[in-house]
């Protein structure tokens, strides 16, 4: 009887697996009785076979695989661990694709087979990128001005020694003259938990954002000389015990100098009309990722917490707290819903302009207000998105390559609504969005493809009665 139960459990598990791989015609209905059988049917893992790796060290891959040789698992655990193993490996950003299957099924034992398709890791590339906060600002407000572009050489060596370490060298000219050298290795110890890295940056600018007017950045430019110099050095220590949690501690030192004219235009840029600041900086970051695919999640949740102490020095003294939470649900008929919430607090409230960036920078913005920045010392936002997968296909490239013979695409239609608020004790008159409730909405299209590339096309509306098409690009 037990043998029949185990055989049925394995057969049921295989059917579930084939469906997950897209090979079965209909989704199997797992009744409570079936689920119980899967829990009671145990198998032993004889071996874990890994193939496809050429650069990546084997122990980097096995760290993410949720099976141990010689251990017994229920079939429900096997299915869950296969899925988790694939997600862990894809979230390392080392591979184009990963497959995790069981093979050599004999009696009450089987092998696990992991096949990876490695990315191309070395990128000595010419660099050309607008300096503005997003493409929409550069295209629509600055009319694709080449004066607002950085160009040069960007050398990226990902997975340099096969341990998921990264070496970056940037030699940039144009709007910004910049030299950046950074290296980070996530695995220093035998337990593969501790990492270490450093960043060294020197940059100069002929133009500077010295204040905000009408919730838009105001710039001062001197074509004859550089009016802003920056130097920074940071050391990063990381700790990762499991597959979901990450800790980062950073300590650094920064020196920044601005031209006298900038201090005259805005004496509160650094406070007290100062033209130079030098300060230590310490930060801690906690990340919790329990999602199926970090670049574009469709199920699970993420937590991020950031703390930073900037200073103290004569004109710089900042305590910074930031938290971000996102939740993702998979709904029937290829619908998905998610929300993302973020809150920020800066103390004391009386901060120089240098420390007041809040919404409209990086990935902290309301969709539909991309043309605006909202500076402040406290605030946050909430994004809600409902999307549906409308198309999924693989484009045959015709290349004789195991990795690049096909490029996958997924396309989603979506609708969204955002709300937010920012408080600024020293609000400049004319910044109509500061100290006010903000709301936006719209609809759009997301395109997800190889190398974690996500293209977002969004037609958005805001509370000011404005509406426009916005473009966003996420790439690693």
Query: For residues 23 and 85, is the Cβ–Cβ distance under 8 A?
Result: no
Integer distance in angstroms from the first to the last C-alpha of the chain?
Answer: 53
The CA distance from 449 to 193, in Å, is 30
pLDDT of residue 284 exceeding 70, the answer is yes
In this structure, the answer to whether residues 62 and 190 fall within a common structural domain is: no
Task: List pLDDT tens digits, range 228-237.
Answer: 999 999 999 9
Within a domain: residue 129? Answer: no
- Residue range of the domain that includes 351: 186-382
- What percent helix, strand, coil does the chain show, rounded to 5? 15, 50, 30
Q: How far is CA 105 from CA 47, 108, 112, in A?
A: 11, 8, 10
Assess if residue 353 is contained within a domain. Answer: yes
- Per residue in 226-272, pLDDT (tens digit) is 899 999 999 999 999 888 999 999 999 999 999 999 999 999 999 88
124 within a domain of the structure (yes/no): no
Predicted TM-score of the model (pTM): 0.84
Higher pLDDT: 102 or 142? It is 102
Structural domains in the chain (count): 2
Please write the tens of the pLDDT for every residue from 312-355.
888 899 999 999 999 999 999 999 999 999 999 999 999 999 99
| Domain at 93, CATH number | 3.10.20.310
Asked whether the beta carbons of 396 and 350 are under 8 A apart, the reply is: no
Ordered DSSP codes for 91-123: TTT-EEEEEEEEEEEETTEEEEEEEEEEPP-EE
Candidate from 28-42, 170-184, 188-202, 398-412 with smallest mean pLDDT: 28-42
Domain boundary (337, 364, 382) is at 382
Q: Given 74, 90, 118, which residue is the final one in a domain? A: 118
């Amino acid at each position: 009887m037990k043998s029949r139960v185990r055989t049925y459990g394995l057969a049921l598990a295989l059917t579930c697996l084939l469906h997950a791989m897209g090979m079965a015609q209909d989704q199997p209905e797992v009744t409570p009785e079936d689920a119980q059988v899967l829990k009671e049917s145990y198998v032993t893992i004889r071996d874990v076979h890994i193939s496809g790796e050429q650069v990546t060290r084997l122990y980097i891959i096995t760290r993410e695989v949720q099976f141990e040789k010689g251990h017994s698992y229920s079939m429900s655990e096997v299915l869950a661990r296969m899925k988790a193993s694939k997600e862990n490996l894809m979230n390392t950003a080392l591979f184009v694709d990963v497959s995790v299957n069981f093979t050599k099924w004999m009696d009450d034992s089987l092998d696990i087979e992991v096949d990876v398709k490695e990315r191309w890791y070395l990128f000595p590339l010419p660099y050309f990128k607008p300096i503005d906060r997003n493409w929409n600002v550069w295209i629509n407000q600055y009319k694709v001005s080449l004066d607002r572009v950085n160009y040069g050489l960007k050398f990226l060596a990902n997975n340099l020694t096969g341990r998921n370490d990264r070496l970056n060298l940037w030699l940039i000219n144009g709007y910004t003259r910049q030299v950046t050298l950074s290296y980070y290795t996530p695995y220093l110890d035998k337990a593969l938990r501790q990492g270490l890295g450093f960043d060294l940056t020197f940059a100069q600018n002929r133009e500077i954002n010295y204040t905000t007017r009408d919730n838009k950045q105001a710039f001062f430019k001197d074509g004859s000389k550089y009016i802003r110099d920056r130097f920074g050095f940071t050391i990063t220590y990381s700790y990762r015990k499991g597959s979901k949690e990450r800790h980062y501690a950073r300590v650094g030192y920064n020196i920044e100098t601005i031209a006298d004219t900038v201090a005259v235009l805005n004496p509160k840029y650094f406070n007290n009309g100062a033209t130079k600041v030098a300060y230590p900086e310490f930060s801690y970051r906690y990340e919790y990722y329990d999602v199926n695919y970090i670049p574009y999640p469709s199920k699970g949740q993420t937590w991020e917490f950031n703390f930073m102490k900037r200073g103290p020095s004569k004109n710089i003294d900042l305590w910074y707290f930031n938290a971000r939470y996102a939740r993702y649900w998979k709904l029937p008929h290829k619908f998905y819903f998610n929300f993302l919430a973020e809150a920020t607090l800066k103390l004391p409230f009386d901060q120089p302009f240098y420390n007041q960036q809040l919404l409209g920078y990086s990935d902290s913005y309301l969709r539909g207000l991309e043309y605006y920045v909202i500076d402040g010392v406290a605030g946050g936002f909430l994004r809600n998105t409902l999307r549906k997968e409308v198309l999924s296909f693989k484009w045959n490239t015709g290349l004789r390559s195991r990795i690049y013979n096909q490029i996958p695409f997924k396309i989603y239609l979506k609708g969204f609504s955002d709300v937010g608020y920012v408080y600024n004790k020293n609000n400049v008159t004319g910044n109509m969005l500061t100290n006010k409730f903000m709301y936006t909405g719209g609809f759009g299209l997301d395109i997800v493809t190889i190398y974690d590339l996500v293209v977002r096309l969004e037609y958005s509306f805001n509370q000011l009665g404005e509406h426009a098409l916005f473009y966003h690009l996420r790439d690693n």
